[in-house]
Chains A and B, each alone.
Chain A
Amino acid sequence: DGGITQSPKYLFRKEGQNVTLSCEQNLNHDAMYWYRQDPGQGLRLIYYSQIVNDFQKGDIAEGYSVSREKKESFPLTVTSAQKNPTAFYLCASSIGKGQETQYFGPGTRLLVL
């Protein structure tokens, strides 16, 4: 079955620690996205990538970094510079420019110890 996987489901971060959230898709989609969702809120765009080896900042990129070395993978690193990282992180993909449907992974819930 094609889809998007995210791991881990829950992640705990200590003060000053960088953590990396995994996102993999086997849908052969060109575009991938990372969103942050706080309780009772909408989705805010962190980073997105339309093609391998290229990515753009979204509305809340500060304190985060990404890479897109392979079409199927788009990992997100939450750095120590992100002072309030506790949130639900969602990865999504779409076929590419002009395609209207985004497919979401199950999400990773990040908690700070």
Chain B
Amino acid sequence: GQSLEQPSEVTAVEGAIVQINCTYQTSGFYGLSWYQQHDGGAPTFLSYNALDGLEETGRFSSFLSRSDSYGYLLLQELQMKDSASYFCALDNYGQNFVFGPGTRLSVLP
């Protein structure tokens, strides 16, 4: 089967940079996705890494290393509105997606 691990909570101050890590176990996959979910809301797509390396989308970047079974989401210039839960998810060869347990990010003023 597939499994993912993430830190349960991360705290940072406004304007700072924070990295949310994701380690996984799988026999194979297409790519690693990241989603953001505010309390009571639906997850929204942030980024996808099909290949090793860094993908940048505005203030958010995501990284994947298949050899290390590891990825991370990097959030720069943190804003209060970035306080949310962040999930990594494995793309299981396009069949379905397996989500990690989520990391709750708290941004302090």
Contact = CB atoms under 8 A, between A and B. Distances in A.
Contacts of A56: 95-96
Contacts, number: 56
Nearest to A44: B99
Interface residues of A, number: 25
A63 interface: no
A107 B37 CA distance: 12
Chain B interface main SS type? strand
A103 B45 contact: yes
- Among B35, B42, B102: residue with most chain A CB under 10 A: B42
Contact of A43 (B30, B43, B44, B50): B43
B44 A104 contact: yes
Interface of A: 33, 35, 40-45, 48, 50, 56, 58, 90, 96-107
Given A98-B30, A101-B48, 5 more contacts: A43-B99, A50-B95, A104-B43, A106-B42, A107-B42
Closest 9 CB pairs between A and B?
A97-B94, A104-B42, A100-B48, A98-B94, A43-B99, A42-B101, A42-B99, A101-B45, A42-B102
